Each structure stands twice: as structure tokens, then as C-alpha cells.
A and B are shown apart, each in its own frame.
Chain A
């Protein structure tokens, strides 16, 4: 049981954890008191009565990683890297703080607190030094997150925690702990997870430090590249569904392993409204993170914040047109023009189609196509299938987006530009530096 308390002298909140005496190994609480690391809550003092120990700890304001992912969906790759590195730093500290490595042995999202941008490791109930952990007749761990050797009573070492960190990385990327043999996801983070989750310890990173370095390398590769493609989505009139279509495209691109940033380039305030309703908070890039997508609200010229690394930018222009200086600044590699398709929308559709002629590469879509056949100016104009949730596309919708993605040249363009980038990475290469 954990109580929230107030330190009267310092006017600071404290957490008081009440633990049965028989549940703790001798000297364990005093060992925890010696730990000092930004990723581990400070244990200030220990009080006791006949039956219980009272651990007076730093009070953490935030939520567990589990709740965070439950509420806002999978995390952005840069957040996965940032949190992953912090977890490694805290676990590495445990492994190296004493003469004998202390293994954490129960790493899972409910034991990780997210406090602003910092990750804190909580609940050291299962932690034990490597000798005690291997001598113990009982094995602990959380289903879905413990390593194979914990279940099979194999030898435990630092690589047991490496496996669990891989599972937590997997959870942050996908929203679940994954079934045995399930592919660990796309991209650079997927490669790191795959190594962590090797069934045999010998196939994993040799230490948490090696995992940290791999994450650093993968992050550098991820962040170094410029955006591969910028896609603009415009509607012929307000309310035709450009935002719905754009968000659906983002979800599809995320599902095929691309890193996408949705940029609101219209004054509808949809992103602010949605984030307010869902209680989302902005990250350091000024974006809201929902279901693994970075959603950037419409900012003015005074806003000066770092851009998110991304492979594809989807710009939602609403029903706005880019004119004057904005036309150059907001030029896209490809444009999707969404028309209403009803007879009473003909004027608005006509204007949108005329504007589409000025775009570098454009595909025309209809919300409601009245007659079959070739209606668009730039080839076949398709009807957008009906779907209710742009963040959870299913059924035939991914097929539609796959065809749309191919039609705007995304498939070809991304693989072409990726191969160029790959050559650059191979030539430059980067060496990771371990923290001090």
C-alpha cells in the first residue's frame, strides 16, 4: 500500500510505501536507500513497527507507461528511443552500482512511471543481486514481459533484463507485449527489439550498455534523414472530409512502418479540439501524440520549435488554397484533392479541380461519385470508402489507401529516396558515445 504524505518542514510531497517485514529480504531496504539515480525514485528514510516497514520515497507526479499507452495509443519512434535510453540508463545503474550486479527482473510498463519527460523505475520487489536471483527457488516476473530463462529456471544475468527492455520497447511501439514469434515492428527500432527478444541469451545484446548504444545508433539513423515525401490534402469545400481522409492516410502510412507527421495547415482548430477532448499533452516538438502519430496543430509564424523527424509529412489544408508566398513555402511533392461529387457541389469541385492543375502531382478523389467512369482531370477519380475511425482503419480501407499511396507516387518515391539515404548512412556512419 502506498500513501501520499506531506513533509511538514519542507512542504514537499512524499510517498510512503507500507511493506510487510516478512516480504523483504534482510538489508534490502537499506540497499535501496543507497541508490541515487535520476531514473530511480529517492528513498529518503525507513521507519518500522512490529509488522511493517515504511519506505519514505520521492513522490512522483505522472502516470505509468502502461496508462500512457492505454490512453494515447502507441508512442512516436523518437519517444520510444528517448524512453528506451532512459530505461537502459536506470537498469545499467542497477547492474553496475554495487560489487555484484543487481537484476531488476520485473521490467514492465506498470513498473515505469512517466513524469513529464522523465522515466522512473518503481517497485523493486523482484530485484535481487545475481547470486540471490539464481539461488532463489522461486522465479518472479510479469506475463508477457519475462524472459524465457525466468520461466525455465535457466541461469539469470543482465541479458534477462535486456529481454524485458526489448519487450517494453515493443509495447511502446505496438501497444501490446506481443505473442511469441511476432515480428517486432518496422524500422530501426524494430531491429533493436529483434535482437533484445532473441530466445537464446547469446543472441541478445551482451549488456544494457550495448543496448543503449544500439538505441543511440538507431535514433541517429532515424533522425538524420530529411522528410522523404510531403503530401498535401485539400477539400473542395468546408466539411467535405479532408481532415478525415488525411488522418486515415497517416494511419495507413504508420501501419506500413513509415514515420508520419500530420500538419494542420488550416484554421479549423481540429487538432487542438481533439487533444483537448482526449487530454493529450504537447511534446517538445509542439505535437500531440495519438495512436503513434504526431499531430501538429496550426501554428503561426512566431512559433519556433524543433521539427519532428519524419519520413512522410501529411499537410491538411482543409478547404484552403495556397496562394502567394504560402504557395512556395507549402509546396508538396504530391497533392490529394477531395471533391464532394454531388450536383450542388459542382462549383466548389470545379474550382478545386482547376486549382489542382497547378499542383506538381495530384490525385482527385470524390466523396460521393454519382456516375461510374472517368470523372477526374488527372486520370481516374475514385470514390472514398466510408469509414468511421481514421485512427483504426480496417476492412477494405487499407486497400484503398495502398492504391492511393501508389497513385501519388509515394511507394516508388519513398523506396527511391530511402535507397539514396541508405547509401549516405553507409558512407557516413556514426559511433555512439556512452554516457558519463
Chain B
């Protein structure tokens, strides 16, 4: 997007693995070695059972479109064109907020449940995970 001055995340010790993964082109999730559940956003314990016995792994990067709005009043740093703020369901189960790229930002182009693939865009020291229509 032109004039992209979006606010960027400040990683913390609990989330550093995720942001390092994005820079390396990997979408890193965590899962509990006890109950086998994948979860997001990052935290050092399993939200299902409370266990701290958790591991980081590289997710497939596949997802489907769960819901979205198309923001017609962009906040400062997001240019002037309408854009979709989406929530996707990752193939591994967890959901995350993102933007959909390489697609018109219209209801006609953005169909719920459409298959998506992760892609990363660098903003200085941070790389953000976006999603694009699968096969694009």
C-alpha cells in the first residue's frame, strides 16, 4: 500500500520466537506437548491445560478466511484506500488477525472460507504475516 506508515509491534520475550520466525519466512505457532493443542497468540503456557511444557513449531502457512470488514476510514499510516481487516483460521486451528494482500479489497473478491496462504512483508526490523489467496 502506498505511504504505509502503520504502527509496528514491539516484540516481548514471550513473542520473540514468533517475530523471528516471520523474519525467517516461517509462521511459528506453539503447541502443548501434553494435550497436543496448537495455540496463538504466543504465551509460555498452554491455554487449554496450563502446562508450561510447550514447543514452538513452523505452521503450514495455510489458512481460510473466517471474517472481515473493509475499513473505509483508514487510520493514520494506512494510506487512503479501503482495506480489509481480516481474521483467518489457520490450518492448525488457531485464528489470527491479518490483512489480505494480492487481492482486490472488495466483497466480491473476498469470500468467506476462501483458501489463503501466508506471505511476509518487511517493515524495517519487523516482518508482518499477511495472507493472499491460495494459488496466487
Q: Are A and B physically bound partners?
A: no
Residues in chain A within 8 A of chain B (CB atoms): none
Residues in chain B within 8 A of chain A (CB atoms): none
